[in-house]
Structure 1
Amino acid sequence: MTAERRYHRDKDAVACVLEDITLLYHRASGQTHMMISPVPEILDALDEEADSTAAQLHALLERHYDLGEPEQAIAEIEAHLESLTALGLVCRS
């Protein structure tokens, strides 16, 4: 895990919440992505605090959710951020 990496959300996406699934249409790629928790919550946290590290997002999310062991939760947030970066939905700062 690289705690120093900073991320921000690509604003070129439109979200639609359908019960337990969030659809995210990414205009730049023309793709629609189906997401379930915790991905929408991570994206919402990035909206709240752009240019954040996984540890900073953990601190934000921890206010609302029981995330368990911090070290493991931060590693999982980082993994989600890397996946979202590969899709073009999140960018590294």
Structure 2
Amino acid sequence: MTAERRYHQDSNAALCVLEDITLLYHRSSGQTHMVISPVPEILDALGEDDSPVTAAQVHARLERRYDLGEPEQAIAEIEAHLAGLTALGVVRRA
């Protein structure tokens, strides 16, 4: 059985919220990205503690606050967002 991927937020990322848009600054690369929901919420869920978490654990954290619909589909979408954030260097795989 393959181990589930675990993620954590890179400490070099900073968020700035401006109404409906969130600016995501990655200090290491010097790049700023504009992101919208659900990216800030996913990053917030990752930041609840310092331990690396799976997409299913992020889902469980988000589900406390939001109606996410079918768990399998929501977890797949969270995993896709985490992969994109990893490609940007904002999230790291553990």
Range into which the TM-score falls when normalised by the shorter chain: over 0.9
Calculate the TM-score normalised by the size of structure 1. Answer: 0.95
What letter corresponds to residue 9 of structure 1 in structure 2?
Answer: Q
Please say if residues 24 and 33 of structure 1, whose CA atoms lie closer than 8 Å, have aligned partners that are also in contact.
Answer: yes
Quick one: percent identity of the two aligned structures? 78
Spell out structure 1 runs of 4+ moving beyond 3 A: none
Calculate the TM-score normalised by the size of structure 2. Answer: 0.94
Secondary structure of 2:24 counterpart: strand
CA separation of 1:42 and 1:74: change in aligned 2, threshold 3 A: same
Q: How many residues are paired up?
A: 92
Matches within 5 A, 1:13-92: 13-49=13-49, 50-92=51-93
Once residues 9 and 86 of structure 1 are traced to their aligned partners in structure 2, the CA distance between those partners, rounded to angstroms, is 12
Consecutive unaligned residues of structure 2, counting only runs of 5 or more, are none
Q: CA RMSD in A?
A: 1.3
Please say if residues 13 and 24 of structure 1, whose CA atoms lie closer than 8 Å, have aligned partners that are also in contact.
Answer: yes
**1:14 positional shift:** 1.6
